[in-house]
Structure formats: C-alpha cells, structure tokens
Amino acid sequence: MGFLQPILGVVVLLGLCYLLSNNKKQIDWRLVAIGIGLQFLFAILILKVPFVEHAFQGVADSFVKLLGYTEAGADFVLGKWPAVAEVTDGINKKPFTIGYVFAFKVLPTILFFSALSSLLYYLGILQKIVFVFAWIMNKTMRLSGAESLAAAANVFIGQTEAPLVVKPYLEKMSKSEIMTLMTGGMATIAGGVFAAYVGLLGGDDPVEQAQFAKHLLSASIMSAPAAIVAAKILFPETRKDIDKDIVIPKEKVGSNVLDAISNGTTDGLKLALNVGAMLLVFIALMAMVNGITSWIGVITGLNDVIAEATNNSYDCLSLEFIFGSLFAPIAWLLGVNSSDILYVGQVLGEKTVLNEFVAYVTLGGMKSSELFSDPKSAIIATYALCGFANFSSIGIQIGGISAIAPGQRETLSALGIKALVGGTVACLLTAAIAGMLI
C-alpha cells in the first residue's frame, strides 16, 4: 500500500484540478503528461541516480557551509547564545532542543541569503541558471517565453521578485499565463527562506542539515513543472499566437557589487522582520484560540475523548487537532504512515491557513521530539510544505504584481483562490511523487 497511496494521491489531485477547471475541453493533456513526467524525471535523477544525487548533495553541503558563514556573522553582531534551549511543542508538552534562540539563528540566514541572491543576480549568474530551466520547460511543455521564465525564476527567488524577471511582458500576458505565474509563486519558496528551513529541520547536525537541504532543493525544482500542470488544468491557454521567445530583461539590482549587496541586505531585513512578526502574531493567535477551544473541550467532555482517541498525542480540542483531523486524509494520500497522518495533517493545515514558516517550525519540533513513527513521514511533509501556498499569499501577490502591472489587478484578484488551489496541489503532487521513491 505504501506505493499505491501516492499513486492514488496523484490521480485524486489531478482530478480535483479537472473538476475546478474553467475550460475542460481546452486542457492540453500532452502538457499535463510531460509535466508529470518531468517531475518523475527530476525526482528519479535527484533521489535515485548516484552521480546526480551526489551532485545535488554537493550543492546541499555548500548550503550548509554557507549557513556556517551566516552563523559567524550572527555571532559577531549578536554574541554567543546557549547551544540548547528547552521549549514545548504545543501538542503534548514534550521538550525538544533547538540550536540557538530562533531569532538569533534562523532569521540572520534570511539576511545573508537575500544579499547573496542579489549579488548573484547582479553578476548575471542567477539569470543563466533561470534561463536553462526556462528553456527546458519552454521546449518540452510548449509554454510562452514569459511564463517559462516566470516558472523558472520562482524556483530561486520569491513570489514577488520573480515577476520582475518578466516585468516587460506582464501587461500583455493572458489570463492563463498570469495563472501560471501566480501558481508558480505559490508552489515554490525563495532562496532567502530556504536556508532558514534547513536550519529549522536540520538543527545543529550538519548531516541532517545537508539531507534536508537536498530535499528542499529537490522539492522546489520538482514543483516548477507541477505548478504549470496545475495552472494549465485549472485555466487552460486558449490563445494560439503565444510568443515562445525567451528573453531575460537586463535590469540591474544595483549600480555596483556593493550596492547590490546593500539592496539585498535591506530586502532581507524587511523579510526577516516580517517573518519574525508573523510568527509572533500567528503563534500567539493560535494559543489564544486554543485556550477557547480547550475550554469548550472541558465543558463538553471532548478533551477526554480526543486524548483517548489519539493515545494522548493531542490532549484537548485545539487548532492542531482540528487541522490534523481535516488534512489527515490528504497526508495518507501522500504515502504517510497511518500512525503519523494526524501530525502531517496538522502541519499541512498550518501551512495553508497560516503560513509555511509556522508549519516548518512545528515540523522541526515534531522531528526533534521524535513524534514520527516513520522517518519518511517528516521527509514527505518537508516536500508538501515547500511552497508559499497560503491565504495571505493571495494578498501579497495581488499587491506585489499589480504594483508593476496595474492593468492586471482585476485578473490577479479573480485568479487568487484558484492560484492557491493550484499551488497547494503542486506541492502535494511533489510530495506524493517523493513518497513513491523515498
């Protein structure tokens, strides 16, 4: 059943997109087949072909070394902190260890990687990597040049930065192309937060960090064709005169190297503060809601029922339990062990309703607390969470993209919910395929 579950999951997810499609007759099934095929190809190459796996592991090891450089900067500015801190995971009050206090270990990586991404863009290195991925998707899936570039850029940079790569084309893009752009942004993560997730999941162990860096990198790459598949089923292209030329705009992110690093650092600071503030608020709100639901559980007797039914994994009526129960069937379809589906369902719910950062914090806590009966469950969850598909991202995309393409604001608003569905499906498709092969 371990192999059949994710196969069924892929069928169910594609079927959901088909049911929600605005034009079922125009769906390009050749594109869908090639997109799913590319996902399998990337997954097999990265996870099963030794020399490719070693190459990706080398890239992952390089990210771990970069994390060490980040820590050197953080130590100088912020000073040394205790190597272990005791906190509770919010489920059954078991303690788990974290390397440094979150704000002084994870957030500085966002600053560093944002500055590094800006430098690589200024030097033209990032554009060349994006071009290669765009060319592959352009030639195999018959996409327009603009949406190929957008899909490839989303693998490496954020959902509000990637549209800048296709800025000259935005106003003339069709609704289907805009859908692909938005879905791609929902289905992938940015380089700045990539390193933060590695730190959350890998803790202080360089081997664990390298393992999860490889999986996160694999997830982001695999989700690019998955996002295109979901977008093109939900909103198929009807135009026949699409422009397939791939031309990357030659815009600079600074006047020189130092200016590019400064701009990237400033953007990283805004992102780090935003992440820290969101975590503080969302986790506090969850605690407040849990206080109310726990009280309801006391007066209705539900707390005892839940504790008995979950073998004390959840001791009261809480958002964590509600998320876990609602999303547990999806977790099962991804190939998660039945004993772990409530935990994985919980983080899937947190990611969709709140954001992926909250979910990765919870997943890191679950992993450190050794709550999973099967280590594969944490890896599948890592793939499923690797994207910006949550309700707040709808507003972020509408505001960010419409600022540089005002004429598309109405289209962006109309496609917001569908893009969220498409981005979520893309991440889940990637997790299901990984579940087959891991």
d(CA 339, CA 330): 14
CB atoms within 10 A of CB 124: 11
Stretch 109-131: mean pLDDT, rounded? 80
Local confidence band at 348 (pLDDT 50, 70, 90 cut-offs): very high
Residue pair 357/278 in contact (Cβ under 8 Å)? The answer is yes
Q: How many domains does the chain have?
A: 1
Local confidence band at 305 (pLDDT 50, 70, 90 cut-offs): very high
pTM, rounded to two decimals? 0.86
Local confidence band at 322 (pLDDT 50, 70, 90 cut-offs): very high
Model pLDDT, residue 383: 96
Quote the tokens at residue 140: 């195999």
160 vs 211, more confident: 211
Q: Specify the amino acid at residue 10.
A: V
CB atoms within 10 A of CB 200: 26
DSSP 8-state code for residue 162: G
Nearest to 188 by CA among 429, 17, 404: 429
28 vs 200, more confident: 28
Q: Above 80 in pLDDT, residue 90?
A: no
d(CA 427, CA 404): 27
Q: Above 90 in pLDDT, residue 377?
A: yes
Model pLDDT, residue 98: 41
Model pLDDT, residue 172: 85
Mean pLDDT of the chain: 83
Nearest to 282 by CA among 357, 344, 347: 357
Domain with 292, as residue range(s), is 4-437
Nearest to 343 by CA among 360, 366, 361: 366
Quote the tokens at residue 5: 């579950």
